[in-house]
Amino acid sequence: MLLEELPALAGRFDLVINTANQPLDWSAVMGSLAPRGRLHQLGAVLQPIQVGAFDLISFRRSITGSPTSSPGSLRKMMEFCVRHAIKPQVEHLPFDQVNQAIERLHRGDVRYRFVLDQTDGLMDG
């Protein structure tokens, strides 16, 4: 999902888990939460998360965060993802395109996550 799509999803989500480690349009993210919804922050954003008090108070929304989880919690999360067919959105690139991948990261031209795939003969003997 793109941030531009959030206004059309106002009040839709009970929980948003954010793994991005960069500042976002926090007002749009909070606006996508249902009443009593929660933003759970996993990405280490270095800047403060700027949220207006009205975004929290008016619909009893909250923000929580955690650095990592226990192995048991991770297992439960993975089982939940399997049951509900939740999959990551990842772009695979051949390892020999690492320089282009870095350039795209600097330009902010990465929609989801990059995975550099080194199965294209680099490991052959």
Domains of the chain: 3-83 (3.40.50.720), 88-125 (no CATH)
* Cα–Cα distance measured from residue 28 to residue 112, given in angstroms and rounded to the nearest whole number: 18
Q: Residue 48's closest CA among 63, 33, 31, 28?
A: 63
pLDDT in tens, 82-112: 999 998 888 888 888 889 988 888 887 877 7
Q: Residue 43's closest CA among 54, 56, 53, 29?
A: 29
pLDDT in tens, 3-43: 778 788 889 999 998 888 888 888 899 999 999 999 999 88
Here the tokens at position 41 are 């922050």
Amino acid of residue 103: E
